[in-house]
Structure 1
């Protein structure tokens, strides 16, 4: 094939690369070293299974772990095939195709890390599915943070030709049925969804600083709260980063301000938004480990000629990072809604109520405050920690679950709600600056304003506002498609 966009090596996959493959359909190839590691582990686990017990290959699974199984069975009715068919029991909506493809990306990279014992032909088939733009038929419900068994069992049946792919077809693969547990013993769906959410949210958090700076100008804010001396006195990393970004964006803009102290939504922006930036970085670091680890059970140690039964499938670290992020995200989202409220308040802006024009009693942007509060309410529900729940399954053997899959799903929904909240703030900020006939000094903030003003309708008479919110949302960088033009996040420098 031609040079791939992304080379999978089992050690260096990033959240941005997961998104580029899963969403933007960048081409992918597994490097030779990754295929070699997979082949070596496959040969080793077959040898070890021939000499003794290997969980899931020579035994049942879960509470059936002590039950020996027959290795030499009729083709098509092996223990491995029964395992795949019985575990392909997900329910609810089918996985979003992008999330399903992200699952494939993660599983390929995990297999390339070695340790699963799954044959290299499976890696090749998965990369072929990705390069053809396919997504497996898998379902939302089934994972509880200890393995995406149902989604990956469905994926295996797609590879075998027993379930249909979405988006096209792939020749059926005949892989070793003994590889069944080795293939499904992974949290690839959870990790893939979390990686997509992390990449998308990183863009939104960067864009939010730009939107906040525009709202600051729209309300004639006081820049004193962003002074470097203030943030050196309390040097949390994210707080310092956001304050420095605001200083850079506001550099050269007018120095007159309307108040000695602004509302918290402006004055505490570095502290609150910086906390979300810090939480996103924790998630990114956690995902860097999860994306590039052989979190397999059992884990094949080729050099030591052994298999190790373990609990590296338990996603407590990732679940807690996701829960923490959503709580921090709610805090900064609430500040965004509060800034929208200030932009609609004449006592703060000196402009008309709701930034309306036309006959007395015109509504202007009144309804967008409701839209933002509605999205914030959804985000609040999503912010509830999934880790507060647990479960006991498989006859009591598996007596704990972090529900990290639910944490990832809630994070996806929270990111979507946050995008709406920021879009509303951007619409209000641009209208306020227009009504002021503001002339911004040259620099990145004026460039960002010009970009937003270029796509948001100028009419201020009462009219449907859905087109405004949709246009604003497209500027909030949730995908790095180089053909899509600039995003607001690009102006942070």
Structure 2
């Protein structure tokens, strides 16, 4: 079980809750903090103070005063009108992450909601009821309005969910799980949708998957070095110490460790003086990708504990202050930055694939084919990798540099952070497929060189990966191999 305080959640704890299915519960004392914030809102309602989002309209309608008798209707109308996302739904993993992060933000006690609303979100999370949330429709300010409106609907017994592996009406899922729908009160609809939890959830999932992929890339690149008789001298510690980037130093050290007992690597001048950049510069390129990931991880761990709605409630001073914490710019810029690290991880992997299959660049069978000419071998796998890398280059264009005014120009600068996060996640999937193709080709190369001469650690990788994709003894439908390897990489953890 993970205890939520609203301030201490880590990415590792998100993984435990979202992917490992540990339960999440409120920490002791947080309900009291949330209740004080709620009491402040109720006092403002009873004293008929004019406060944005409590007894006014939204956006350009902020100067429209709402009668007290209509405040619950105002909040329900907000959820209904803003639930206009389109496109394919986010994965259950991302939807689950959104639920967790929105609950964690409300726990801080600056949103003015009742504790029952947070308990409802955690009840759905722990019961495995995941809202169906369309991917498209957010500008990233005022937060992720459309996606979070879809996230909110099942709390009320409306909309659709994924439950027990299939789509279902939320009302049916709540009934099956013995969870009663809630009715929104003043401020609560706005508190549910004014935040950055869609872009942040996608960012968190992408970050966790990217960490796994970078570790795998180092192992697979090490196998490629063996398949191409790569020169180990380029990974000498003194070389990387002189550059000074710790991530580069660390990548070189891990590759030296992976290959320490290999009989397939060579020394400088033994077969050639130096290797091509895609081999020699693995630490420099993957080290830089690790730098982007580390930056993004830092920003995400701030954001998953942030209060990002509006207005913010301050019970100690009885204030409701309108600000802009819903603006997604910090995450938008971070995700656009991560896209570059993802792109370069795939770019250099594709170049290593080319060196593995191109007979003009190695002494292996042309295209790793068992019968060159009659059989094409891995020729078109390199085409696929090149296509994926090219697609990533178009997706790497920064979404955060764009802005389109909305709400009659009241909201005149937006982040497009959710687009940046979605593109990063798409790119990560493309990169994983490229790395899967490199692994297939690297395994074929070391099969030709002699598996018994591999380093013990890369041979262990080979042993497990060979269960997914057999050796190429004849042409076959290689799309199935790529898919099998990609799916395995999504589960495989570097030991």
Distance 1:107 1:292 in 2: 10
CA contact (8 A) 2:346 2:434 kept: yes
CA-CA distance at 1:162 after TM superposition: 3.1
Query: Which one is further off, 252-261 or 338-347?
Result: 252-261
Q: Deviations over 1:126-184 (max 9, x none)?
A: 11111221122332222111111122223333211232433222421124243221221
TM-score, normalised relative to structure 2: 0.91
Structure 1: how far apart are the matches of 2:453 and 2:97? 42
C-alpha distance in structure 1 between counterparts of 2:279 and 2:33, whole Å: 53
Matched, 1:250 2:259: yes
When structure 1 is superposed on structure 2, of 10-19 and 313-322 the one drifting more is 10-19
Whether the aligned pair in 1 keeps the contact of 2:368 and 2:445 (CA below 8 Å) is: yes
Distance 1:332 1:155, change over 3 A: closer
Q: Give the drift of 1:442.
A: 5.5
Q: Does residue 60 of structure 1 match 2:57?
A: yes
Aligned partner of 2:391 in structure 1 is 378
Aligned to 2:323: 310
Name stretches of at least 5 consecutive residues in structure 2 with no aligned partner: 164-172
Counterparts of 1:167-206 in structure 2, within 5 Å, are: 167=163, 168-169=173-174, 170-206=179-215
Match of 1:92, SS state, is strand
Higher alpha-carbon deviation: 423-432 or 92-101 = 92-101
Are 2:45 and 1:32 equivalent residues in the alignment? no
CA distance in 2, matches of 1:335, 1:88: 41
Q: Answer yes or no: is 1:240 the counterpart of 2:236.
A: no
Q: How does 1:343-354 map to 2 (within 5 A)?
A: 343-354=356-367
Residue number in structure 1 paired with 2:305: 292
Alignment correspondent of 2:235: 226
Q: Do the aligned residues in 2 keep the contact of 1:387 with 1:404 (CA within 8 Å)? A: yes
2:87 to 79, 89, 92: 92
Does the CA contact (< 8 Å) of 2:45 and 2:68 recur in 1? no
| Deviation, structure 1 residue 368 | 0.6
Q: What is aligned with 2:343?
A: 330
Q: Is the 8 A contact 1:219 1:348 kept in 2?
A: no
Query: Partners in 2 of 1:464 and 1:276 — Cα distance?
Result: 33
Separation in structure 1 between the aligned mates of residue 140 and residue 243 of structure 2, nearest angstrom: 36
CA distance in structure 1 between the aligned counterparts of 2:221 and 2:454, rounded to whole angstroms: 17
Residues 1:43 and 2:8 are matched in the alignment = no
User: Mind listing any 5+ residue stretches in structure 1 that lack a counterpart?
Assistant: 480-486
- Residue 23 of structure 1 and its aligned partner are, at CA, apart by 4.1
2:114 matches 1:122: no
CA RMSD of aligned residues (A): 2.0
Q: TM-score, normalised by structure 1?
A: 0.92
CA contact 1:237–1:278 (8 Å) conserved in 2: no
Aligned-partner Cα distance in 2 for 1:145–1:175: 24
In 1, the alpha carbon distance for the partners of 2:274 and 2:358 equals 16
The number of aligned residues is 476
1:69 corresponds to 2:63: no
| SS at structure 2 position matched to 1:166 | strand
1:278-334 CA-to-partner distances (Å, cap 9, x unmatched) read 101111110000001112211122233322211111111111111011112212211
**Cα distance, 1:379 vs structure 2:** 1.5
Q: Equivalents in 2 of 1:151, 1:360: separation in Å?
A: 52
**d(CA) in 2 for partners of 1:411, 1:468:** 24
